[in-house]
Structure 1
Amino acid sequence: MNTNRRSFIKKTLGASALMAVGSSTVSMASTKSDKGASSNGVVVGKSPKKEVLYKQTAEWEAFYKASY
């Protein structure tokens, strides 16, 4: 009975190890891209629009004065 349990555990651990290696290989292959190294994870597009991060308004001024 102990040999049956041991053989079952060996087979299960071997299969789970193979699944872990296979899934990590697939995930690494799917995340690689040719633009990844130069863009540092940032999506680079061809839009002519300028990105506006801050627009000076009365509400923002009140917020900044309150935060100091």
Structure 2
Amino acid sequence: MKDNRRSFIKKTLSASALVAAAGATVAMASTKNNTSDGSHGVVVGKSNKKEILYKETAEWKAFYKASY
């Protein structure tokens, strides 16, 4: 009975270690493709969208006046 449990645990641990290693390899490969050498870990891509940080509204004006 103990031998069955031990062999099951050994097989389960070795299989999970292989899956974890494969997952780490895939994750590293996918992040390598999305970054360039000079980007310092920042994802570099092409986008046609214009980045809008905020829209000038009455609430923003009140916030900026209060922050001065």
Q: Same fold (TM over 0.5)?
A: yes
Q: What is the alpha-carbon distance in structure 1 between the residues aligned to residue 21 and residue 15 of structure 2? A: 10
Amino acid at match of 1:22: A
CA positional deviation for 1:65: 2.4
Deviations 1:3-24 (A, max 9, x none): 1000000000000000000110
If the length of structure 2 is used for normalisation, what is the TM-score? 0.64
If the length of structure 1 is used for normalisation, what is the TM-score? 0.64
Q: What is the alpha-carbon distance in structure 2 between the residues aligned to residue 5 and residue 58 of structure 1? A: 66
Amino acid at match of 1:20: A
Q: What is the alpha-carbon distance in structure 2 between the residues aligned to residue 4 and residue 17 of structure 1? A: 20
Q: Which has the larger radius of gyration?
A: 1
Moved over 6 A (4+): none
Q: Equivalent residue for 2:66?
A: 66
Gaps of 5+ in 1: none
Q: Secondary structure at the match of 2:38?
A: helix
Gaps of 5+ in 2: none
CA positional deviation for 1:30: 1.3
Q: Equivalent residue for 1:28?
A: 28
Q: What is the alpha-carbon distance in structure 1 between the residues aligned to residue 45 and residue 23 of structure 2? A: 28
Greater relative contact order, per chain length (Cα 8 Å cut-off, separation 6+): 2
